[in-house]
Structure formats: structure tokens, C-alpha cells
Amino acid sequence: MATAADVALLILRLVLGLTMAAHGLNKFFGGGRIPGTARWFESIGMKYGKFQAVTAATAETAAGLGLAIGLFTPIAAAGFVALMAVAVWTVHRANGFFVLGNGWEYNLVLATGAVAVAMIGPGYLSADHQIFCHCWQNGWNGLAIALGLGLAGAVGQLALFYRAPAKADAPAQSDG
């Protein structure tokens, strides 16, 4: 039987997960769609913009839906960590903390919320519990999976595909 904590975890998973999934689906169906997202990724220094756009949209949608339904919860949380770490590094880190200044507070909240769910476990009202009869991996294992896999994914993504864009507004150097 579900407890108040199970319902609270369900609410948290749904808000975090559906927010992330909506972000991914917006790359597919909103605004500039994949071509516009691809151009934006290239403008911030990501190589192979179309590949990045499709990969990010798919990962955001999958990680979000995975967390929302509570399926392989620490792996879904690792997706949040990887996605948000890359976003912070490529877009938000130079802008300070606050989201109103395009800072990284929103990214921190999404990733931290997902990691907390991975540690606590998704609760009784989750696919993990219904399929595996328990919370698959939680506690320290959930933390290790969410942070370890997530940070490894972010570092790999950045090492393979990110090159800081040249500063267009920097004055040209002269010889004298």
C-alpha cells in the first residue's frame, strides 16, 4: 500500500521527469525544431550539431520519462546529471548562479532532485517497484550510479564534441 512518502516521490518524479521530457520534446517539435537546435548547438561549440540535437532531445525525453515512471531510476537520474552538467559547462557557467541571468541554478535543481530520488528510491508507485518488487538500486548504489554514470557521460560528451567557440566580440590583436 502506498504511503504519503510514496505519493510525495511520485509527485517529485512527475514534476522533474515531465519537465525534462518536455524540454526534449520541445527540441523535436517546438521553435526551431532539430535544425534550429542543431544550429544553436554549433554556435555554443558543439561539433556535429544535428547529431547533438537529436541525441540531446532523445536523452532528455528518455531520462525524463524514465524518472517520471520510476523505471531504472538511478540510470534516468544519471541522464539528468549528464545533461545538466553539459548544459552548465557549455552555456551557463560563465553567467553566475541565478537563472534570471542565464545562470545554472535551474540545472542544479533538476540534477539534484533526480539524484535525491535515485538515493531515496522511486517509491512504491513506480515501475521499478512494480517490476522488481523493490526499488531496484537506491541508497549509496543509487548515488554512485546517478553521479558516476552521469558525470562520466558528461565528461565523455564534452571531450568528444565540445570546443569552446571563438570570442567574436574580442578585439583583434595588432602588432603595434
CA dist 131 and 100 (Å) reads 41
Show me where the domains of the chain are located: 4-161
Q: Return the bridge partners of 46, or none.
A: 162
Per-residue model confidence as pLDDT tens for the chain (176 residues)? 899 999 999 999 999 999 999 999 999 999 899 999 999 999 999 999 999 999 999 999 999 999 999 999 999 999 999 999 999 999 999 999 999 999 999 999 999 999 999 999 999 999 999 998 877 789 999 999 999 999 999 999 999 999 998 776 544 444 44
Asked whether the beta carbons of 156 and 35 are under 8 A apart, the reply is no
Can you say whether the dihedral through the CA atoms of 145, 68, 70, 50 is positive or negative?
A: negative
Q: By C-alpha distance, which of 9, 7, 19 is closest to 107?
A: 19
Compute how many other C-beta atoms are within 10 angstroms of the C-beta atom of residue 130. Answer: 12
Residue 28, CA atoms < 13 Å, CB-side half-sphere: 14
First to last CA, the chain: 78
Which triple of cell numbers denotes residue 18?
Answer: 515531465
pLDDT for residue 175: 44
Identify whether the C-beta of residue 80 lies closer than 8 Å to the C-beta of residue 15. Answer: no
CB under 8 Å to 50, separation ≥6 — which residues? 34, 35, 38
